[in-house]
Amino acid sequence: MILEVDKLQIHYRTRDGVARAVDGASFAVPEGRIVGLVGESGCGKTTAVRAIMGVLAENGRQAGGRVVFKGEPMDEATTRKLRWRDIAYVPQSAMSSLDPVYTVGSQLIEVLTKRGGFSRAAARTRSVELFDLVGLNERRLADYPHQFSGGMRQRAAIAIALALEPSLLLADEPVTALDVIVQRQILDVLRSLQQRLKLSMVLVTHDISVVAYLCDEVVVMYAGQVVESGPVREVLARPRHPYTMGLRNAFPDLLSDALELVPIAGSPPDLREPLSGCRFVPRCPFAQPACSLDAVMTGNGAHRSACHRDSEADTLRTAALDPRTWPRSSSFAMS
- Residues at the site binding another protein, with contacts judged by CB under 8 A: 40-41, 149-152, 179-185, 187-188, 206-213, 232-233, 236-237, 246-255, 259-265, 267, 328-333, 335
- Residue closer to another protein by CB (options 30, 116) is 30
Q: Minimum CB separation from another protein for residue 231, in Å?
A: 9
What is the closest distance, in whole angstroms, from the C-beta atom of residue 137 to another protein in the complex? Answer: 11
Judged by DSSP in three states, 256 sits in coil
The residue among 4 and 40 lying less far from another protein, judged by its C-beta, is: 40
Q: Which is nearer to another protein, 123 or 264 (CB)?
A: 264
Handedness of CA 308, 309, 314, 316 (dihedral sign): negative
* E-strand stretches of the chain: 3-14, 17-29, 34-38, 60-69, 72-73, 87-90, 168-172, 200-205, 217-222, 225-231, 304-305
Closest CA to 21 of 44, 45, 41: 44
Q: Rounded to the nearest whole angstrom, what is the least distance from the CB of residue 190 to another protein in the complex?
A: 13
Rounded to a whole number of angstroms, the minimum distance from the CB of residue 67 to another protein is 27
Count of C-beta atoms within a 10 Å radius of residue 265:
16
| CB of residue 129 to another protein, shortest distance in Å | 21
3-state secondary structure (DSSP) of residue 90? strand
Considering the complex, state which of residue 149 and residue 288 has its C-beta at the smaller distance from another protein: 149
Smallest gap, in angstroms, from Cβ of residue 207 to another protein? 7
3-14, strands of its sheet edge to edge: 17-29, 3-14, 60-69, 72-73
Cβ nearer to another protein, comparing 127 with 249: 249
CB nearer to another protein: pick between 78 and 209: 209
Residue 73 CB neighbours (<10 A): 11
Closest CA to 206 of 49, 93, 44, 38: 38
